[in-house]
Structure 1
Amino acid sequence: MPFLFRLFSALPLWLLHAVGAALGWLVLALSPTYRRRFVANAAVAGYGFAQVRGAVGHAGRMVAELPRLWMGAPMPCAIVGAEVVEQAWERGRGIVFLTPHLGCFEMSAQAVAQRWGRQRGPITVLYRPARQPWLAKVMETARTRPGMDSVPTTLSGVRQMIKALRRGESVGLLPDQVPPEGLGLWSPVFGRPAYTMTLAARLAQQTGATVLLVRCERLPRGAGYTLFVEALPEPLSASLDEAVAQINRAMEHLIRQSPQQYLWGYARYKQPRADTPAGKGAAPGAEGVA
């Protein structure tokens, strides 16, 4: 597998995306469970399958592009809304970048690191180590790049994120990842209750950091990516429940801007799993982030 990862990391992005698109449709055809969840999740948001069928191919592209993103040369990524980030930096309180499982969320952190890492300090992201030793090593190496630090989903990792924000740096999270039982709360997503991490809201509330919303869209024919940045529509509430609900609404807003690139097959509405010994000591909401 490490050899295949290195091999795929050298392939052009257009070819990886072509292979990935075929893979996405193959998985949909072979997995009735995935197919039902894809259709059901889209329906909850008000979309029929025909309206979001492009997301099938994008799910496969997400998998196929990982070797290139993790081990290959930096990829081109234009940024729309860079002025919003600059304004947030001027406040001097750090930035919490939030993105759902939409488009190339792996590229989101890399784009921020490439653009602002040298001047403003690294972006810190949490990751859950893979169970396979070879993949865990690849992930550790891939997610620690110039301008980007990765920390594990433990209390120590969360503390490093808080320290980064208090230094005026940035952190990145996927707040629509389902955390283990006891590390989140139930909050509506497209009108249906979904168990939601509290970490994103807690980080902003405890440090006063600015919350920014990002989505990184894939361009056609492997031409690269575009990162879109916007501010949270309203100040984050001091109430944890309301702050989590605000973030969920913000994720809905981002998804509706690019429903063709959202992972509709992700089990967003699943029951949270019980915490494991490896997860003990994690801060509330600390699991399930980028």
Structure 2
Amino acid sequence: MRILFYVLAWLPLLALQGLGAFAGWLLWVTNSGRRKVALRNLQHCMPELSEAERTRIARASITNELTTYIETARVWLGPGASVKNAVREWRGISALDRAFAKGKGVILLTLHQGAFEAVAIPMSANYPFYGLYKPQKGAINDLSLIGRCRFGGQMVKAEAGVRKAALPLLAKDFGVYYMPDHDPPEGRGIYVPFMGVLAHTPTLIARMVQESGSPVVFMFGERLPWARGYIAHYFDAPEGIYDADVAVSTEAMNQGLELCVRACPDQYWWGYKRFRRRPAGEPNFYK
């Protein structure tokens, strides 16, 4: 695994994205489960689009997801100057500056869309961020720590829970980086709309905002075509995220995530079963 990562790390970005395109094509033509899930999600989340357009987005989404996996070796271990210079624009970065100016730490939220690490890791050269992680077995854990800390970012284990790991860091005016676009374990989420569909959504961020008083900023990394690099997008969170009502705050968080998705729907990972858990009495979403 280590050897493969180091070989991929030194391949040109165009070659890596070509491999991602081939892998995406292969997954699509074999009518994989990921393809079926992506089409189902899009049918419900973007019904205003034609079937042809949803199919195009689903196919592009799968290619972008696999490309992200393949590019990871380069982002973690590739030539430092090239990795930094691949971020062509820091669009809306003033939102992050305003947030840090408040002196209460920053909760930076991103999602499984585009090239999130390709912009987050270079960002850590200029802003004091911690990523929260649970240790994995094998070489991937070691390689991920090397890659994610290579420009000054730090990683902290969240074995006792994300909240317990994050709150002390926020109190010291650090930023914490988290991805909340997932289905949390039972008891740790509530049902609020996401892209027009009720989604079991983590309440963690709503609770952290109230306990820390930290501002929230959203970010996503857009992959440019033909290996031209990436654009990092930042913007302020909807005001509702600061509401003391957990349901209001959590729904506002999903609204922020939805803004990211609608800005670049081709690069969101539609193949994930985001709606697998349903409110009592509702049928299986994916049957």
The answer to whether TM tops 0.5 is yes
2:102 to 91, 99, 104: 91
2:264 to 254, 258, 271: 258
Matches within 5 A, 1:1-290: 1-46=1-46, 47=49, 48-74=54-80, 75=83, 76=85, 77=87, 78-116=89-127, 122-130=128-136, 132-155=137-160, 158-235=163-240, 236-271=242-277
Cα distance in 1, alignment partners of residues 184 and 23 from structure 2: 28
Report if the CA contact (8 A) 1:29-1:35 is conserved.
no
Q: Give the count of matched residue pairs.
A: 266
Cα displacement (A) at 1:258:
0.2
Cα distance in 2, alignment partners of residues 158 and 73 from structure 1: 34
Report if the CA contact (8 A) 2:105-2:214 is conserved.
yes
RMSD between superposed Cα atoms in Å: 1.9
The one-letter code of the counterpart of 1:82 is: I
Distance 1:110 1:17, change over 3 A: same
**Percent identity among equivalent residues?**
29
The one-letter code of the counterpart of 1:126 is: L
Cα distance in 1, alignment partners of residues 207 and 231 from structure 2: 29
Moved more, 14-23 or 152-161: 152-161
TM-score (norm 1): 0.85
Moved more, 149-158 or 162-171: 149-158
Cα displacement (A) at 1:169:
1.4
Gaps of 5+ in 1: 117-121, 273-290
3-state secondary structure, aligned to 1:193: strand
3-state secondary structure, aligned to 1:154: coil
Report if the CA contact (8 A) 1:109-1:148 is conserved.
no
Cα displacement (A) at 1:157:
5.2
Moved more, 263-272 or 252-261: 263-272
TM-score (norm 2): 0.86
